[in-house]
Amino acid sequence: MTTVDELWFLADEASQQAEQAYHTLDDRHDGFVEHERTNRVSRPRFRTLATRIKQCGAPFGAHTIVYRDSGELLLVRHEGVDKWVLPGGGVRPDESFREAAERELAEEAGVDADYDGLAMTTRVSVECDSYRTWGVLPVFEARATSFEPTVADPDDEISAARWFADLPPDTRDRADLVAWRRRQSW
């Protein structure tokens, strides 16, 4: 009797959804920067991330780099990872990546912004033992039109939102943000 490895099947379905999501982003946006990273995780975490990827193509949702004309960036304090991060999060079934990024910005930082487009995507490979899948992490860029952050996070993961001229050392994906900032013409 042959048994089907359901975790392998889930990983395969997730990779197919990630491929579709990536091509949709690539077809709709020009000039974004691409990065890659690998996360080695436990079997339960692999299942969680593969399930998220299967649903929308993204393991960590969609995020936004929000900037002021002065070059300051908006970051939020995520207590779950104990770092300053870009506002963003999960994609609901009825949302596009950009709609999710806009909703998350409103919840986590409460500022208004005009979206410029897609700043970057990261191909996130997820591995556990011999299981592998991947998903996209889209990061949009937007110029702030209101400047007083207020946190109204329904998940209670975000404890603060602040503008930074210099990124704090405990900023997640700091190198990617520094590289993005260098490409800007402020």
Q: How confident is the model at residue 4 (pLDDT cuts 50, 70, 90)?
A: low
Task: Report the chain's mean pLDDT, rounded to a whole number.
Answer: 94
Q: How confident is the model at residue 2 (pLDDT cuts 50, 70, 90)?
A: very low
3-state secondary structure of 157: coil
CB 84 within 8 A of CB 76: yes
For 5-14, how does the pLDDT look when each residue is reduced to its tens digit (9 = 90+)? Answer: 899 999 999 9
Mean pLDDT of 154-173: 93
For 60-114, how does the pLDDT look when each residue is reduced to its tens digit (9 = 90+)? Answer: 999 999 999 999 999 999 999 999 999 999 999 999 999 999 999 999 999 999 9
Pick the CATH number of 6-182 from 3.90.79.10, 3.40.440.10, 3.20.20.70, 3.30.70.1140: 3.90.79.10
pLDDT score, position 154: 85
Mean pLDDT of 31-51: 96
Mean pLDDT of 48-69: 97
CA distances from 42 to 51, 128, 185 (A): 14, 6, 42
Q: Note the pTM of the prediction, 2 decimals.
A: 0.92
Residue 95 dihedral angles phi and psi, to the nearest 5°: -115, 150
Query: Residue ranges of the domains in the chain?
Result: 6-182
CB 59 within 8 A of CB 49: yes
CA dihedral 153→148→143→70, nearest 10 degrees, is -140
Residue 170 has pLDDT above 50, yes or no: yes
pLDDT score, position 185: 66
